[in-house]
A and B are shown apart, each in its own frame.
Chain A
Amino acid sequence: MALLQIAEPGQSAAPHQHRLAVGIDLGTTNSLVAAVRSGVADTLPNENAVHAIPSVVRYSEQLVQVGVDAEHFSAQDPLNTIVSVKRFMGRSLTDIQAKEQSLPYHFSASENGLPLFNTAGGQVNPIQVSAEILKPLVERAEKTLGGSLEGVVITVPAYFDDAQRQGTKDAAGLLGIKVLRLLNEPTAAAIAYGLDSGQEGIIAIYDLGGGTFDISILRLNKGVFEVMATGGDSALGGDDFDHVLAEYLQSAWHLSDLTAQEQRALLIESRRVKEALTDDTAVTASLVLTNGQTFECSVDKDKFDEIITPLVKKTMASCRRALRDAGIAADEVLETVMVGGSTRVPLVRDSVAKLFGRTPLTSIDPDRVVAIGAAIQADILVGNKPESDLLLLDVIPLSLGIETMGGLIEKVVSRNTTIPVARAQEFTTFKDGQTAMAFHVVQGERELVSDCRSLARFTLKGIPPMAAGAAHIRVTFQVDADGLLSVTAMEKSSGVQATIQVKPSFGLTDQEIGTMLKDSMANAKEDIERRMLAEQQVEAARVLESLSAALGKDSELLSQKEAALIEQGMAHLAQTAAQNDVSAIEKAIEALDEASQSFAAKRMDNSIRLAFKGQSVDNI
């Protein structure tokens, strides 16, 4: 399939077949699913014509409720009703408790320090909660589109670190859904606008959602979206406007010791007041306590602006930093795009207009623009638009480094480097005869390890004993297009090698993943086996399809002997895949991979040579 996408026009032989893929905006407050139908991308509504579902999940003893059903209970049953779970994704319990006050949940810590919500329905982690939110969206999409999905594009804040991205991908994995790409939310918004109106130039995307803030500076040119810089705050959003307003009301009313239920009611009222102040100049806030006592107070626009100014200012500082990182001045920005419901707050719009010196774009619903962009990208990635020129070149939002002596960090990949990226760094032993070396991978901008995010720890063993400083240990970081990291370490003189599948320090253990998979299925054992078989069969089909297309197109790159070996491997895989032995299929895929490795590399290099075809010979 992929080969069809890069084939020259007129060369692709396979008949066009429409594949089902959707874009999902897994938001802090609300989530949406969108698809391209008859060439038009739009969000998919439920049977009541409602597009968004609240990102709320309630775990009671009997059942799990999601969306509006769960939201009804958010004031009444706050302990078991999880809202804004995205804020907990990929973060440790200590981290969360240090940053967020007055959370109504009962937490435990997992083996790796992940937060676990203790609910009436049992212990759940943020990945499982996110999977529950994805489930009805996928069901809605399959029902509306009339078939099972080949893959999804899920959006994440550009500022999400490795652990947060991995967590999001794992949530889809729990449902057995293939993630075509994790797409940065601002980039998705740019796709939605860029393709519709054919923009070319520098675009700033200001995205203030419920729980996260992102600023991205993109360059759009001939179908290529290039991220020049990103910045933001993964713990600042419209929810914080609600919180500061709630704090203001609480102190204005001299209220202390609110129950969890009253606190939630106060937050809900604060949000209502905030939203009403978008159009009105003054709004009356009111709260009824459990004992029947009633409080009222008028909040005008000036007061509200004053309360939220420090938060808005923080976003402006991030914008200036992103502009500087991109190496451009504010007046070079051609358009600013507003994303996220919180950009409806007038002070936010005014501040953005002032900073960039132009009125921001708001013609696409700021709550739906991200999902719409994701749907467009999903449609292309799944192979429905082989003629599309769209290409996304994203950057890594936070620097990656390794801890060195004294708790300092040696940066290996710096922030805003275009991904995919591979970078190597050399280290050496500091003791005579040292045979092992421990590495600690961190992500963040600060110079001290204690101020950065711990991503993973691993040890390279089996280094031959040498004098201190004689060993050359090369550590290679590779970040893929989703922003996910893998690390390899090698001692150069001996060739001792360790490949580390980076398991986030605050990620899941294998056992936890196994348990979660079981929990997510009714008839655990057979279902898991059936699913593993199905997954391997799909991968086998993918390998066979792409190899036969490759042989059809590039067989001249092979010797007869090589071609015979590959064909033999293909025949074996086809035969094995028709049976039910999961590990035999895995082995057959591996063997074929091995046999076709150099062919695959040659083809890739051939397409590099062809990339300049059609350009003037003088230039080359």
Chain B
Amino acid sequence: MNYFELFSFLPEYDLDTALLAERYRDLQRAVHPDKFANASEQDKRIAVQRAAQVNDGYNTLKHPILRAEHILSLKGFDLSHESTTVKDTQFLMQQMEWRESLEDITDSDAPEEHIEQLHHSFSDYTAQIKSQMSKLIDSDSEQDLLNVADMIRKLKFMAKLQDELARAEDALF
């Protein structure tokens, strides 16, 4: 399913998220099962299916990584079930370093500062990849798109790191 079409957007990476949220609400007002509380079982069934699609579409378009992945899949590159991994050794070294640093939080003298610092490094790096990606993703050249696929994989790595950082922060309470 082309979620850009469902939400009446052009299939581009840059997207007006406020307008997206507005269209999401308009769509849900049209298809949400609550609007069919008194209708026949058949109408209810279809409403549940459509509302689920609208939710999935909103979720996909809202999150930059998922949105990028969706654009690639519309262009014929499906990353959702792949097992290919990042081969950039420099990136992988950096990942290992950060991972070790995450493990050191519990023994750190100033864990909050340590977390703050990592948080900054992660967001800076992520922002950097995202800005590179946004320049290439609307291209039609295969090489550009393969590069974008690689960036998406890296962003997924970063998202995992950020999750782990949040968990380490929880453990402090």
Q: Which residues of A contact B (CB under 8 A)?
A: 1-3, 5-6, 150-151, 180-181, 221-222, 224, 317, 320-321, 324, 381-383, 389, 391-393, 417-423, 426, 478, 480-481, 539, 542-543, 546-547, 593, 596-597, 600-601, 604-605, 607-608, 610-612, 615, 619-620
How far is it, in angstroms, between the C-alpha of A547 and the C-alpha of B27 when the chains are bound? 22
Residue from A426, A600, A605 within 8 A of B43 (CB atoms)? A600
Main secondary structure of the interface of B (DSSP, over half): helix
Contact present for A382 and B25 (CB under 8 Å):
no
How far is it, in angstroms, between the C-alpha of A480 and the C-alpha of B33 when the chains are bound? 8
List chain B residues, Cβ under 8 A from A596.
42
List chain B residues, Cβ under 8 A from A382.
37-38
How far is it, in angstroms, between the C-alpha of A499 and the C-alpha of B123 when the chains are bound? 44
List chain A residues, Cβ under 8 A from B156.
none
Q: Which residues of B contact A (CB under 8 A)?
A: 6, 8, 16, 19, 21, 23, 25-43, 46-53, 55-56, 58-59, 81, 166, 170, 173
* Whole-angstrom distance between the Cβ of B33 and the nearest chain A Cβ: 4
How far is it, in angstroms, between the C-alpha of A422 and the C-alpha of B53 when the chains are bound? 7
With A420-B52, A600-B43, A612-B8: A391-B38 Cβ-Cβ less than 8 Å: no
Q: A417-B59, A420-B52, A420-B55 are in contact. List 7 more A-B contacts (CB 8 A).
A: A391-B32, A391-B34, A481-B32, A593-B41, A596-B42, A619-B8, A619-B16
How far is it, in angstroms, between the C-alpha of A246 and the C-alpha of B170 when the chains are bound? 33
How far is it, in angstroms, between the C-alpha of A587 and the C-alpha of B38 when the chains are bound? 21
Kindly report which residue of chain B lies nearest to residue A389, judged by CB atoms. Answer: B29
How far is it, in angstroms, between the C-alpha of A181 and the C-alpha of B32 when the chains are bound? 12
* Whole-angstrom distance between the Cβ of B165 and the nearest chain A Cβ: 12
With A2-B43, A600-B42: A421-B52 Cβ-Cβ less than 8 Å: yes
Contact present for A419 and B55 (CB under 8 Å):
yes
How far is it, in angstroms, between the C-alpha of A324 and the C-alpha of B46 when the chains are bound? 34
* Whole-angstrom distance between the Cβ of B29 and the nearest chain A Cβ: 6
* Whole-angstrom distance between the Cβ of A596 and the nearest chain B Cβ: 7
With A600-B43, A601-B46, A604-B46: A421-B56 Cβ-Cβ less than 8 Å: yes
* Whole-angstrom distance between the Cβ of A181 and the nearest chain B Cβ: 7
Contact present for A597 and B32 (CB under 8 Å):
no
List chain B residues, Cβ under 8 A from A593.
40-42
With A539-B41, A542-B38, A542-B40: A610-B30 Cβ-Cβ less than 8 Å: yes
Contact present for A608 and B30 (CB under 8 Å):
yes
Kindly report which residue of chain B lies nearest to residue A3, judged by CB atoms. Answer: B39
List chain B residues, Cβ under 8 A from A389.
29
Contact present for B31 and A181 (CB under 8 Å):
no
With A181-B37, A546-B40: A422-B49 Cβ-Cβ less than 8 Å: yes
Contact present for B48 and A480 (CB under 8 Å):
yes
List chain A residues, Cβ under 8 A from B51.
420, 481
List chain A residues, Cβ under 8 A from B173.
317, 320
Contact present for A478 and B48 (CB under 8 Å):
yes
Contact present for A543 and B40 (CB under 8 Å):
yes
